[in-house]
Amino acid sequence: MNTTDVILPGATLGVLGGGQLGRMFVHAAQSMGYFTAVLDPDATSPAGLVSHRHVRTGYEDPQGLAELAQTCAAVTTEFENVPAAALNQLASSMPVSPAGSAVAIAQDRAAEKAHFVKCGVPCAPYAVIETPAQLAAVSDGLLPGILKTARMGYDGKGQIRVKTRAELVAAWDELQHVACVLEKMLPLAHECSVIVARGRSGAIVNLPVQRNLHRDGILAVTEVYEGNLPAAQVEQAITAAKSVAEGLNYVGVLCVEFFVLEGGQLVVNEIAPRPHNSGHYSQNAMDVSQFELQVRCMTNLPLVQPRQHSATVMLNLLGDLWFQHSDTAQAPAWDQILALPGAHLHLYGKTDAKRARKMGHLNITAATAQQARATALRAAEILGIPAF
């Protein structure tokens, strides 16, 4: 398939992974007139439940991949831990975005850091630790730091804060000597992210810079409106995110997460080769959502620069909210939430609420940032979410 081939509505689009990002991709594709197929082993996966077709196999199952290849005109992924080999196998017969090579880099923090350095995008000082010799050679200047597993870490998992060399040794023991990256802890003012979408032609567009608040390693609040960050930081973040995508020759939707230091300097934290939690506001505050951009990238449809029409605050809805008043799960007061102006509730169709599990999100839109924040704070009060 060359860069001029377009996959028009009526074709079937596939996604590896059946979580909430897959579900929202499926909804976006269906609204544009596409049929969908989800490959996921879980019979009750959120995306599988709403897709035209659900291929219930593992991600490396030859029959499942063959069925997806026979059914679909193009395939994407909704999470970065899908085996890159599966993407490479599918790519032999159809367009796959993002490519397995890009996903493989996002799966490995050491490779990810090396890519940032190659692109000239500043990141936190770090050291790769794979052997006892590398552990012993760590510079004292990297302490205090955060020891992170090189692979399979997300939402704060696989991370241990260390202040001293003794704590570093103990942390690597606790992580069972798997390959790790030690990052120097930096004085953070806040965090932000940028979502870019890049097509096969090299065309690239971006969503506005998102200001993010994390709690316990999980995104809690995203605020997007004019003035949420200084203009110079906004420009720097967008330029850096596009550089990271172009350096990967990336096709698809990519989220680049940044730390903003107390002095105002921006350093890149990590990338997610897919739509991202911090981009969910785009469903209600933008004229083109991150999920529609995902569809456009994989089908080679034109990429138009999204426009924001409302100030917005997104609240992440974790399973903890179902246990505010009892040890038995009870649905929050959605009727009170939906009585608020500009409240847009998105639940993911997960059958069981569990603490720290992402169950949905709430987008609050308004004409001004002040109105959006005031309504979001009221919603947080109703739900029992700490103020921000």
Q: Which domains does the chain possess?
A: 12-96 (3.40.50.20), 125-184 (3.30.1490.20), 188-383 (3.30.470.20)
Minimal CA–CA distance to 293: which of 195, 193, 160?
195
Mean pLDDT of 41-60: 97
d(CA 371, CA 202): 38
**Does the pTM of the predicted model rise above 0.75?**
yes
Enter the tokens of residue 225: 């409106």
User: Is 20 in contact with 274 (CB distance < 8 Å)?
Assistant: no
User: Cβ contacts of residue 251 below 8 Å, gap of 6+?
Assistant: 97, 98, 99, 198, 199, 200, 297, 298
Residue at 373: amino acid letter: R
Tell me the pLDDT tens digit for each residue of 362-379: 999 999 999 999 999 999
Enter the tokens of residue 165: 């060399």
Long-range contacts: 136-144, Cβ < 8 Å, 24+?
138/165, 138/168, 138/182, 140/165, 141/184, 142/182, 142/183, 142/184, 143/168, 143/184, 144/184, 144/185
Tell me the pLDDT tens digit for each residue of 299-347: 999 999 999 999 999 999 999 999 998 899 999 999 999 999 999 999 9
The mean of the pLDDT values for the chain is: 96
Using left for φ > 0, alpha for ψ between -120 and 50, and beta otherwise, residue 2 falls in: beta
Question: What is the side-by-side order of every strand in the sheet holding 12-16?
Answer: 53-55, 35-39, 12-16, 74-77
| Torsion sign over Cα 265, 271, 276, 279 | positive
Q: Running DSSP on this structure, what letter comes out for residue 188?
A: E
d(CA 110, CA 182): 10
120 backbone dihedrals φ, ψ, rounded to 5° = 75, 20
Mean pLDDT of 267-276: 97
Tell me the pLDDT band of 1, cut-offs 50, 70 and 90.
very low
pLDDT for 2 equals 53
| Torsion sign over Cα 225, 228, 230, 234 | negative
Q: Does the pLDDT of residue 234 top 80, yes or no? A: yes
d(CA 206, CA 210): 11
